[in-house]
Amino acid sequence: MKRSSKFKCCGIASIVIGLILIGVGIGWPFIIDSLVKSQSKDQAALGKDNMDKWKDIPGKYDIQLNRKTYLYNAINREDVIFKGEVPTVEEYGPFIYREYDNYSTPEKWDEKITVPGKDKTKNAIRMTFNQYAQYNFGGDYGKAQDQDIDKKIWQINQAALGVWFAANHPPAWRLGLNLLYSVVLDGLGRQVLDQGSWTFLNKVVGNQDGIQSNLFNDKITPEQAKQILTDPDFGLNNVNNYIRWAPMTDGSDPLQFQLMVSELKARFGLTYEAIQSAIPKWNGLILFGKGYVISQSSVNNENNQGIAYVQWANSMVTGNLSKPISFDSVTQQTDTVTGYPEISFFQVNKLYPNLKQDKLYQRFKDVKLFVGFSAKDKPLNYEYLFQLIDDQGNEPPSKSLFNMDTIKALYNVPFVDILDEKKPQPEDIDLTGYQDVATLLGLSVEQTYLIRLWLEYVKQTTFQRSQATTEIAIISQLTSQQMQQTISTMEQEVPLIVYTEQLASIVDVQKVGCLKFYSDEFKFSTDLQQNLCSGGKLGIKTFDFSDVRVTSKAWMSILLHNNTLDASDYADLLFLSSMSTDDLNNLLFLSTSTIQTYLTKNVFGPVYAKHKDTVCTVSQFQMCTPKELAYQQWLDLSILSQPDATTPESYVNQFPADTKLKLAPELGYFLYKAGLDKVSITLGNVVTFMQLNRLYNLEIIGDILLNVKSDYIDVFTNEQIRRYIRYIMVEGALGGLFQYRTPREYLEGFIDPTVYQTAQLPVWNGGDQTNDPFMSINYSPTSPKDNPIVFFSGTDDYLYTRSFGLWLDLPYITMKRKDYTSLFNLEAVYADPWIQADGTGGKEYLEGTDGFQFHPDLQSDDRLWVWVNDLGRNGYFDYYSDDTDAYDGLKMMTYQISPDLMKKANKDNKKFGTFLDGTSPMFTILQAPVLASKGHFYQIDTIAADSVAQIVTKGDRKPILPIQSEDDTFLGMEQHSGVNVQARQRLQLNFYIAKDNLFNYIKPDSFIITPLTYVKRESIMTKSQVKDILGDLYVARTARTAGLATLLSIGVILLGLSIFMFCRFRKVKKEEEYGIFDTKKNQKQINQSSDGTLLGGDSITKS
């Protein structure tokens, strides 16, 4: 072969091989990527062999998943409470808690489960899920913690706003029960029986002789009897005043009884002996009067239930026992009852006059729920309708309206209001839908419908009030109860503080000594002196005057309130005296007691002298009544004002150790703080008005709120009192708009007193046991314990890898809550939070993963779906950016939560009730007015700009502005595996305070939004963790890079060699063409020319 041919062959071989290697090198990444994709789809699937990589957090690789939580201190709390300002809140945090997500080991692998909302099945695994968090002390996290976790700050009261929300959205059947109890059993039953017994009592003690002889056993003077008869507020000549004497009745609140005793003593100069003699007389007459009323009504149940039934069904009012029983409504007898509390009164005054269709009138004109009073008729009456328990003391029987299933069945029948003035009245009404519930009740369908119709109108006219709302009804109900508690507490505490201060100011124990004081002033025996001053065997220091004010307060507490205010003081005295209770009471309270003599001269007398011309004007005993002192303090704060005070101050703030109140109760203080004008209310007005059938009555509160003026409340019907009523409602009945608690309490949990108190009441009396009084941000109801879930494994379809198939064992969004299975029992139930009030909507199917893993082979045009249980809805993320530096060349694709998720213009958000951009309503999720948002109100709706709280930094209080990188949610996903290597979830929970009937004083036009908590939920994997979990990808990445470099390098070298070969080929070819190598003589030249070449010496040797 010619030498030129050899060069040619080598050149061709080099170029071919080089091109092949370059081609393979160029295609090498695609080959590797294809293999990686194929392998990733298999390896990403949830299986037994890779459980250690996907099942738990922190799991085998100790992945840090932390909640950096921030809480908020209201620095302008008083301006919010009193003036309705938008809150300014100080951000505390981060308080870092490490999250633990635990899944049980699946018992069955690749179970076929239907894809939520779709007609197909996929392989899935079934597990139980538990989530909890612990305070993170570790390393840098411990150093980053805000150290003020145990410092008390003023935080928004989630329970207050939750209770208010729940009270205004009760299920129909629960409102029905509440109406039946409050209007009928408690209202008609108790009120009619009390009124009847007081009417009877008035016949016996409604004159001067009856008071002196029949009530007080001649232990009072004729002058005292006359005063008790004619006193404008306590006079027994007026039946309406008997409610003030009600605490003397057996079974009454002991503290209320003691307050009444103090009032009688001061107002009328009654002695302890006189009052004690009147108590059994009063109760005997009350019992006789109640028995007489019951006998006249001829009921089976001789109690409130029986009386309630007769009054309800037959409008029997015992207004005048000297005449035959009349038939009318209690609304005609008292100014504290409105609407149609009796069904018979409703028939006569509302139903019959408005039945314009003769057929309807004929159908209902003879429908009755009362048979008669005779012995023959009594068993036929329907008293069982109001049974609260059955004959064995268990649940009400099914024939009772208080049976939960029965009342639900009644409300489940589609209701048609034949009296609706906005619609034409039908000629007749189809009542077949009521047949089943009528059978349960043992009634006709007409009787059953009549009850349902009455319930509707008693709700409108008695509970909600005419042209009012449920909000007004709730405010009236809760405020009337809270007002009594608040003012009664003032009646206990204000006189106690006044007299304690007086006693402490005159006792100079350092000068006379403890023993001498008890000897000279109280005239105690030597043994009693020694025990009080030494503390006895237990060393009790209550009465030793080591702290003069403590001892003074103990004595005044006992002498004013016996053992009802602070039982421990009385118990200490009982122990140290070694006396019986009767003997000790005689020592303390008899009119001949040396203690009473000392107090009258040195404590009661000086206080009376100071106030007798301005405040204490009704006293007959040289002693201010408790009501006078408390009510004057309520009006203008003058009783306990400090001489050097420059601004008005509540006694609650001046004497915090001496009060049980959390709010400043005085009207004068409220008006000052709210910047409102003073009101023209006198002390006499207050004394008259502060009683159960006035300011402690829900009907009267409702009249004030509705601006209904009447003679007896005209002076209280003004904007200042309306504002004060709302203040008492929020700060008293609801526990305050803000709570003074530590961040740790809010995060780890505490028992809320307001919710706890609500849970203690039975459901028919407005109680609610469905809400857990344990409040904790870390233990959200959106993540229930032992939650049965299903993940699609991805073994048969990689696109469904780790997607939810079931949550709480259901394919649609569900919440686990407690609900009533009967009046006395509750069980966990599953509730659809997105079903509408009219029953439409709901069943929002689960879509997406839990956010820790998505399907393999992610692309930039993918929309990633996540079931966000914290929001109670599905969320979605859109591609944002790439990063190949964070994990040494692995491609991290960053996805951002879609702005559309919180847009009110997004039509898909209509079913979730979105009404503000940048928010997601959670009202039905948490059963509270909560709005979720991004951190620091990032992207909040412009219309809310003036309504959201201003958030400032702790300490220097500089405004915090939202930043996208810090306050929006991002997920960093490794592209091939779909594993979330960097999760940055941002969730801020805020309370939405609407400008409603309770918060109508807030300054923004429509609402205030203030934050409860902001949680930055983060999991940032380290490089080593990513290598451990995604090690195969690192190997593939190395092979991809090395293979690419090697193949391209060799290919380029071979292409270079081919160029050289072709150059040599051309030269040798030319030489051969000119015959340079044909003669023997040129052999040496040829050999020489061949030396040093690649072919030199291959076939020719030197001669």
Residues 6+ apart with CB under 8 A from 421: none
Contacts of the segment 1030-1033: beta carbons below 8 A, 24+ positions apart? 1030/890, 1030/974, 1030/977, 1030/979, 1032/39, 1032/43, 1033/36, 1033/40, 1033/890, 1033/974, 1033/976, 1033/977
| Confidence (pLDDT) at 299 | 65
Residues 6+ apart with CB under 8 A from 605: 622, 623
Identify the CA nearest to 1011 among candidates 756, 746, 729: 746
Distances (CA, A) of 944 to 88, 1003, 1011: 15, 13, 14
User: pLDDT, tens digit, for every residue of 274-299?
Assistant: 999 999 999 999 999 888 888 777 66
* pLDDT band, residue 319 (cuts 50/70/90): very low
Rounded CA-CA distance 702/717 in Å is 10
Rounded CA-CA distance 841/834 in Å is 7
Rounded CA-CA distance 930/926 in Å is 7
User: pLDDT, tens digit, for every residue of 759-818?
Assistant: 998 898 888 999 899 999 999 899 999 999 999 999 999 999 999 999 999 999 999 999
Dihedral in degrees, nearest 10, Cα atoms 1064, 1066, 1069, 1074: -120
* DSSP-based three-state secondary structure for 725: helix
In degrees and rounded to multiples of 5, residue 812 shows phi and psi of -125, 165
Rounded CA-CA distance 215/212 in Å is 6
Is residue 1084's pLDDT more than 60?
no
Instruction: Tell me the average pLDDT across 1069-1097.
Output: 52
- Judge contact between 532 and 514, C-beta under 8 A: yes
Place of tokens 């009164």: 345
- What is the secondary structure of 569-633 as a DSSP string? HHHHHHHHHT--HHHHHHHHHSTT-HHHHHHIIIIIHHHHHHHTTTT--S-SSSS--HHHHHHHH
Rounded CA-CA distance 744/758 in Å is 24
Residue 986 token pair: 């941002």
| Confidence (pLDDT) at 1054 | 66
Rounded CA-CA distance 853/849 in Å is 7
Sign of CA dihedral 720, 723, 729, 730: negative
Residue type, 270: L
Is residue 142's pLDDT more than 90?
no
- Judge contact between 951 and 89, C-beta under 8 A: yes
Is residue 668's pLDDT more than 80?
yes
The continuous run of DSSP H or E covering 257 comes out as: helix 254-268
Place of tokens 């309630």: 308
The C-alpha angle 252, 652, 550, rounded to 5 degrees, equals: 80
Rounded CA-CA distance 783/808 in Å is 10
* pLDDT band, residue 1041 (cuts 50/70/90): low
Rounded CA-CA distance 94/143 in Å is 11
Identify the CA nearest to 227 among candidates 629, 682, 619, 616: 619
Distances (CA, A) of 815 to 382, 721, 989: 40, 41, 18
Tally Cβ neighbours within 10 Å of residue 275.
20
| Confidence (pLDDT) at 1042 | 58
| Confidence (pLDDT) at 456 | 95
User: pLDDT, tens digit, for every residue of 101-139?
Assistant: 999 999 889 899 999 999 999 999 999 999 999 999 888
User: pLDDT, tens digit, for every residue of 863-901?
Assistant: 999 999 999 999 999 999 999 999 988 889 999 999 999
Distances (CA, A) of 894 to 301, 880, 1037: 73, 5, 20
First-to-last CA distance in the chain? 21
Residue 783 token pair: 């993540």
Q: Are strands 787-792 and 804-807 parallel, antiparallel or unpaired?
A: antiparallel
DSSP state of 314: H
Residues 6+ apart with CB under 8 A from 865: 803, 847, 848, 849, 874, 875, 876, 877
* DSSP-based three-state secondary structure for 273: helix
CB-facing half-sphere around the CA of 47: CA atoms within 13 A: 11
- Judge contact between 342 and 226, C-beta under 8 A: no
| Confidence (pLDDT) at 802 | 96
| Confidence (pLDDT) at 510 | 80
Q: How many angstroms from the chain centroid is the CA of residue 882?
A: 42
| Confidence (pLDDT) at 1103 | 33
- What is the secondary structure of 1054-1083 as a DSSP string? HHHHHHHHHHHHHHHHHHHHTTTTSSGGGH
pLDDT higher for 1085 or 316? 316
Full-model pTM = 0.89
| Confidence (pLDDT) at 217 | 95
Rounded CA-CA distance 21/27 in Å is 10
If DSSP states are collapsed to H, E and C, what string results for 651-718?
A: HHHHCHHHCCCCCCCCHHHHHHHHCCCCCCCCHHHHHHHCCCCCCCCHHHHHHHHCCCCCCCCHHHCC
* DSSP-based three-state secondary structure for 785: coil
Q: 74 forms bridges with which residues in the sheet?
A: 89
The continuous run of DSSP H or E covering 924 comes out as: helix 923-926
Q: Under the phi-then-psi rule, with left for phi > 0, alpha for psi from -120 to 50, and beta for the rest, what region is 539?
A: left
User: pLDDT, tens digit, for every residue of 440-484?
Assistant: 999 999 999 999 999 999 999 888 887 668 899 999 999 999 999
The C-alpha angle 594, 595, 598, rounded to 5 degrees, equals: 85
| Confidence (pLDDT) at 509 | 84
Residue type, 1003: K
Residues 6+ apart with CB under 8 A from 665: 486, 487, 489, 490, 634, 650, 652, 728, 732
The continuous run of DSSP H or E covering 254 comes out as: helix 254-268
Rounded CA-CA distance 962/994 in Å is 24
Tally Cβ neighbours within 10 Å of residue 391.
7
* DSSP-based three-state secondary structure for 985: strand
* DSSP-based three-state secondary structure for 129: strand
Rounded CA-CA distance 1071/1069 in Å is 5
Rounded CA-CA distance 475/698 in Å is 8
User: pLDDT, tens digit, for every residue of 505-526?
Assistant: 999 888 889 999 999 999 999 9
For the chain, the average pLDDT equals 89
User: pLDDT, tens digit, for every residue of 736-763?
Assistant: 999 999 999 999 999 999 999 999 988 9
Q: Are strands 950-953 and 88-103 parallel, antiparallel or unpaired?
A: parallel
In degrees and rounded to multiples of 5, residue 27 shows phi and psi of -85, -10
Tally Cβ neighbours within 10 Å of residue 882.
12
How many residues are listed for the chain in this entry?
1103
The C-alpha angle 732, 736, 737, rounded to 5 degrees, equals: 145
